[in-house]
Amino acid sequence: MKQDIVRRYRGNPILTKSAIPYPVETVHNAAVVKHGDEYIMLFRSHLRTGRSIIGLARGTDGFHFTADPEPFLTPARDGLFAEYEEYGVEDPRVTLIEGEYLITYSAYSRNGVRIALAKTRDFKHIERVSLITQADYRNVVIFPEKFDGLYARLDRPHSEISPWSIWISYSPDLRFWGESRLIMRPEQYHWDQMKIGPGAPPIRTDQGWLSIYHGVFPTMDGSVYRLGVALHDLQDPARIIGVCDSWIIQPEDPWEVTGYVHNVVFTCGAVAEPDGTVKIYWGGADTVMCVGEANLSDLVALCLDPSSARGAAH
């Protein structure tokens, strides 16, 4: 039998609400990074109000995690951030750049959803920096390197005219972002036809930046969230070199098929290991956290090989 491109960890799900020392209903859509000897996981949890907070769990092997006694990030209580986080904080992504971990997360309020940026060096002290989008944006992932002196991010604005697509934007200082362009759109009558969005922060490989993104397909039984891969040019990340035509993982395990939202695998983080593998973390059915492993070179090949790639520039 042909081996799956993403090898699910046999111990999935790796983190569930029963392991969290404060009351939560879900543990999902987590960012994961290596910090010193530890893997740090920032996960989203629904409270019984239906609003979300962000917790922290840590471990040493990337598979076993223990949650800290208190949540990591809850809605701000005063100032500008309070105004925009009133309905909760969701789906964190973390990028290490120049010694600082940049955390982007969705801030929900009566004004809509926008993206906030916070930073930390040690996952103890966290500083909110700026609200870096207007309303109707989600899924901001920052590249771990600058391009011609500018920070770069992939993002996903909402539109009533165009299917929701992946855009790129640049910034000199992480506060002011511009030069925005649409760089990848959903494909008609295809697993990602309804909308796509950035997932894990891009990973540098010799052949390009590997982006693991999500794509959504509408069915008579609701939407199905799956993950795909695309490769961006190393010097010019706005240039897509190749996209795998197929998804790399779809909801199959019972905790991915059934849960708070059925049929969802959704990633906010992946960790590239020195041995050429990558640990991909995903939320199952917006309820639990899962992990799987893949070879980076296999994912790159899927984007580039004529037998599996969709081709250049969508």
Residues of the shown chain interacting with ligand BMA in the complex, contacts defined by CB under 6 A? 29, 90-91, 225, 261, 264, 266, 283, 286
The minimum distance between CB 185 and ligand BMA, in angstroms, equals: 17
- 192 vs 286, which CB is nearer to ligand BMA? 286
The minimum distance between CB 52 and ligand BMA, in angstroms, equals: 8
The minimum distance between CB 235 and ligand BMA, in angstroms, equals: 32
- 84 vs 151, which CB is nearer to ligand BMA? 84
CA separation for the pair 303, 241 (Å, rounded): 8
C-alpha radius of gyration, the chain, whole number: 18
- 174 vs 261, which CB is nearer to ligand BMA? 261
> Among all chains, which residue has been given the structure tokens 């609701």?
222
- 71 vs 283, which CB is nearer to ligand BMA? 283
Question: What is the DSSP annotation of 43-86?
Answer: EEEE-TTS-EEEEEEEESSSS--EE-SS-SB---SSHHHHHHHT
The minimum distance between CB 119 and ligand BMA, in angstroms, equals: 22
Distances 210 to 33, 193, 205, 260, 305 between C-alpha atoms, Å = 16, 21, 7, 29, 14
- 6 vs 301, which CB is nearer to ligand BMA? 6
Distances 246 to 135, 281, 299 between C-alpha atoms, Å = 31, 19, 11
CA separation for the pair 34, 45 (Å, rounded): 21
Structure tokens at 146: 């600058």
The minimum distance between CB 266 and ligand BMA, in angstroms, equals: 4
Q: What is the separation of C-alpha 289 from the centre of its chain, rounded to a whole number of angstroms?
A: 13
The minimum distance between CB 114 and ligand BMA, in angstroms, equals: 14
- 67 vs 90, which CB is nearer to ligand BMA? 90
Quick one: CA dihedral 74, 134, 241, 161, positive or negative?
A: positive
Give me the half-sphere count of Cα atoms (radius 13 Å) on the Cβ side of residue 7: 11
- 96 vs 194, which CB is nearer to ligand BMA? 194
The minimum distance between CB 260 and ligand BMA, in angstroms, equals: 8
Query: What pairing do the DSSP bridges indicate for beta strands 166-171 and 178-184?
Result: antiparallel
The minimum distance between CB 297 and ligand BMA, in angstroms, equals: 29
User: End-to-end alpha-carbon separation of the chain, Å?
Assistant: 33
- 29 vs 95, which CB is nearer to ligand BMA? 29
